[in-house]
Copies of this chain bind each other. A is one copy, B any other.
Amino acid sequence: MRRDIFQAIADPTRRAIIGLLALQAMTPNGIAEHFQTSRQAVSKHLRVLTECEVVKQEYQGREIYYHLEIERMKEIDKWLEQFRKLWETRFEQLDNLLANLKKKK
């Protein structure tokens, strides 16, 4: 099943999991404690995240620690790049507007 990062962050629970793992690596049970959902549901989310390589597993005895792969987050940032130019343009326009208002006054 081919997945991408945008699908990974589409679900709010998954975004929350990513947020948690940004602070520290955690086990499925550890993660599940932070939500009102079952460990199995978390496990399914972790599967999705693993499939698109947003997290990676570290086996430690019978526990599995999930680590965030921060590099993947950059892909989103990269996609946003094309819009960042527009923000800047908007900012310039606002700057010009403010400058004109000032001059008028």
Contacts and interface: CB of A to CB of B under 8 A. Distances in A.
Interface of A: 4, 6-7, 9-10, 12, 15, 19, 22, 68, 70, 73-74, 76-77, 79-80, 82-84, 86-87, 90
A19 B82 contact: yes
Contacts of A9: 6, 10
Contacts of A68: 86
B76 A80 contact: yes
Contact of A80 (B7, B77, B83, B87): B77
Contacts of A70: 83, 86-87, 90
Nearest to A90: B70
A10 B19 contact: no
